[in-house]
Amino acid sequence: MSIGIVVNLLLRLSIFYFLAEVLLNPNDPRFAGKALPIRNLVVIGSLSLLFPFLHVWRRVWPRYPVWYDNLYLSIFWLDMAGNSFNLYETVRGFDLLAHFHGAGAITAVLAGAFRQSWLTALGLATVIHVLLEAQENYTEILFGTRNIKGMYDTINDLTAGLLGSGVYLVLRALGRRIAQR
């Protein structure tokens, strides 16, 4: 079994653990008021299964892109670990790290696994990130969740995401250049 598959299984098992933890303890202060059970069910039930679904039913890739799947899963893992270990509440700036990595990782995945141009990948990742921020804002307004800390939080999250997208694109280009030598 390759190291990539082992990492993939560990990511999936820990994501499942984080989901179970939230479902079994929804009133835990780390989770209360954030609508995590529903959000994490969506992640587990659909989004985390995107790569296996596309590979098995749609035959998008001739060979399973395990490292791109791992990078994709790491977005969910980091977010869920941040809640599980209470990092969003106890580590200043952790939210920015999650947005930097999330937008950067999805940009790299779109450019790599889905062979989008760097501009298309950056644009799609930005649209996805803006929609995530809109969802956070509207669930706060409509349902009283506590996921944002004011307008500056949204602006900082979007800025961190744009920076992450740019950095991950540069790192991907450097990695490709090194691999070609």
pLDDT one-digit tens code per residue, 63-106: 999 999 999 999 999 999 999 999 999 999 999 999 999 999 99
Total domains in the fold of the chain: 1
Burial 24-46 (b: 16+ CB within 10 A, else e): eeeeeebbeebbbeebbeebbee
Q: What is the pLDDT of residue 131?
A: 95
Full domain range(s) for residue 18? 3-180
Q: What is the mean pLDDT of the chain?
A: 93
Q: What percent of the chain has pLDDT over 90?
A: 75
Q: Are 114 and 54 in contact (CB under 8 A)?
A: no
Q: What is the pLDDT of residue 151?
A: 78
Per-residue pLDDT, averaged over 100-115, amounts to 97
- pLDDT band per the 50, 70, 90 thresholds, residue 140: confident
Is 154 exposed, middle or buried, given 0-12, 13-18 or 19+ CB atoms closer than 10 A? middle
